[in-house]
Amino acid sequence: MSPVPYDGSIAPKNVAEVAARLKELGCYEISLGDTIGVGTPASILRMLEAVAKDVPVEFLAGHYHDTYGMAIANIYASYQFGLRTFDSAVAGLGGCPYAKGATGNVATEDVVYLLKGLGCDTGVDLGALLDVAAWIKTVLGSAPG
Question: CA–CA separation, 85 vs 38, rounded Å?
Answer: 20
From residue 33, alpha-carbon distances to 14, 26, 29, 61 in Å are 13, 19, 12, 9
Question: CA–CA separation, 17 vs 50, rounded Å?
Answer: 9
Residue tagged active-site, from 96, 114, 115, 130: 96
Yes or no: say if 91 and 68 are a contact pair by the CB < 8 Å rule: no
Beta strands in the chain (DSSP E): 30-34, 60-64
Active site residue 96: yes
Report the candidate in 61, 13, 70 with the shortest Cα–Cα distance to residue 33. 61
Provide the annotated active-site residues. Answer: 96
